[in-house]
Amino acid sequence: MSYPYKVEELISSLRSSPRLRQKEEIKNLWSLLPQISKIGDEEVILGDDAAAIADGEGYLLLAAEGIWTPLLLANPYMAGRAAVLVNVNDIYAMGGRPLAIVNVLYSLDSEDMKEVFRGMVENSSRYRVPIVGGHLITEAKSPCLCVFILGRASKLLSGFAAQAGDDLVFVGNFKGKFYSKFNF
């Protein structure tokens, strides 16, 4: 199989990506949060794709993603699809199964809101995770979409448990194409 990049070119491209460089800001903000959080006597594992809350039968997984405003404005339908996809990915990345989604949507108008929900409902059905509630505001001055997901895992997959020599697996679909206005 032929890949469009050599590994060195891919690494260089990723390191110079403005979207990934924004992640550097997280380090500065992360220091403001408590390094260990607790619910009752149980420590909550922070810093992976989802917070992992031990509950005696495994872990509840809690994650959230905000959708980039330029995408929300350019293609509300795609923004709705992406909102579900990125949250489901966060739960699967931790070794869990998604249980339910809620959302917060501030929209410029009801037509945009309908398109966001059309995308969310389509992917919610695709990934078999119900949308169970949320908060909606129409005619907002600034559009915003955030989606929150609850999942469950019996065992965790965690980046904190990775060790030198572990295998790294990338799964992708090279048959797709980039969305014309955005690099995904």
Whether the predicted model's global pTM rises above the 0.95 cut: no
Could you give the 3-state DSSP secondary structure of residue 88? Answer: helix
In this predicted structure, the answer to whether residue 1 has a pLDDT above a threshold of 60 is no
In whole angstroms, what is the distance from residue 88 CA to residue 43 CA? Answer: 23
In whole angstroms, what is the distance from residue 120 CA to residue 70 CA? Answer: 17
For residue 144, the tally of other CB atoms under 10 A from its CB is 14
Mean pLDDT of 46-66: 87
In this predicted structure, the answer to whether residue 44 has a pLDDT above a threshold of 80 is no
pLDDT at 125: 97
**Residue 140 · residue 97 · CB < 8 Å:** no
pLDDT at 104: 94
Task: Give the confidence band of 89 by pLDDT, cuts at 50, 70, 90.
Answer: very high
More confident residue, 140 or 117: 117
pLDDT at 36: 67
pLDDT at 2: 57
Mean pLDDT of 141-159: 91
Side-chain-side CA neighbours of 150 within 13 Å: the count stands at 11
pLDDT at 8: 85
In this predicted structure, the answer to whether residue 80 has a pLDDT above a threshold of 90 is yes
pLDDT at 129: 97
**Residue 150 · residue 141 · CB < 8 Å:** no
Which structure tokens are listed for 87? 């949250």
Report residue 159: phi and psi, to 5°: -60, -25
In whole angstroms, what is the distance from residue 128 CA to residue 131 CA? Answer: 10
CATH topology of domain 7-154: 60s Ribosomal Protein L30; Chain: A; (3.30.1330)
pLDDT in tens, 2-31: 556 678 887 888 788 776 777 677 667 766
Percentages helix, strand, coil for the chain, rounded to the nearest 5? 35, 25, 40
Q: What percent of the chain shows pLDDT beyond 70?
A: 85
Task: Give the confidence band of 124 by pLDDT, cuts at 50, 70, 90.
Answer: very high
Question: Can you say whether the dihedral through the CA atoms of 107, 179, 123, 14 is positive or negative?
Answer: negative
Query: Within the chain, how many helices (H) and strands (E) appear?
Result: 6, 7
Taking only Cα atoms into account, the Rg of the chain, rounded to an integer number of angstroms, comes to 18
In this predicted structure, the answer to whether residue 176 has a pLDDT above a threshold of 80 is no
**Residue 125 · residue 93 · CB < 8 Å:** no
For residue 134, the tally of other CB atoms under 10 A from its CB is 15
In this predicted structure, the answer to whether residue 37 has a pLDDT above a threshold of 60 is yes
